[in-house]
Amino acid sequence: MTHQPIIIPAIASDGSLYPVEKLQAHREALFHMAVSVFVFDGPLLLIQRRAIGKYHCGSQWANTCCSHPHWNEDHKICAERRLKEELGFTVPLTEQRVFEYSADVGSDLHEHEQVTMFTADVNRASLDIVPNPEEVSEIRWVGANDLRDEIARSPAHFTPWFRIYMDEFPDFSF
């Protein structure tokens, strides 16, 4: 089976958007759009361990879900789509903020993203989570203090962007 390249919106220096292939954006460190989702049950955040076969940051822990909108795809639609594709559920999402970061993600790839952050509040007892094994190898719920301590002890276990998020928003104030 041949996979079609994924075309995402990159951001030019004048703020205009242009289509670019996702891997090209990462190889060339092009500024591009992304989404990140944070699903909470009270004070606990659902985090995922990326599948080992991911093209970067495999087997590292990250926030609930993150991705890139396809060209001309609404950010919220993208966040909902990827939450369903990666973890098998949908919940109402609330847009919180737009955040920019840049990070080396290994394998000669780089993220330079304008991220639209979304949150959701759920009751995990009624949530049917079905991780897609091609995307996610493990999930767990964790509080902010425990997560900060774990990142401090073992930063390499977490994706670069998730470490940046936790530095910037240590109390889950997304």
Would residue 66 show up in a list of annotated catalytic residues for this protein?
Answer: yes
* Separation CA 36–CA 83 (nearest Å): 10
* Separation CA 149–CA 21 (nearest Å): 37
The one catalytic residue in 80, 86, 111, 113 is 113
Q: Are 87 and 142 in contact (CB under 8 A)?
A: no
Q: Which residues contact 144 (CB under 8 A, 6 or more apart)?
A: 43, 45, 170, 171, 172
- Residue 108, SS3? coil
Q: Which residues contact 117 (CB under 8 A, 6 or more apart)?
A: 35, 36, 37, 38, 95, 96, 97, 98, 99, 174
Report the phi/psi class of residue 56: left, alpha or beta, with left for phi > 0 and alpha for psi in -120 to 50. beta
* Separation CA 91–CA 26 (nearest Å): 29
The one catalytic residue in 57, 65, 66, 78 is 66
Give the residue numbers marked as catalytic. 66, 113
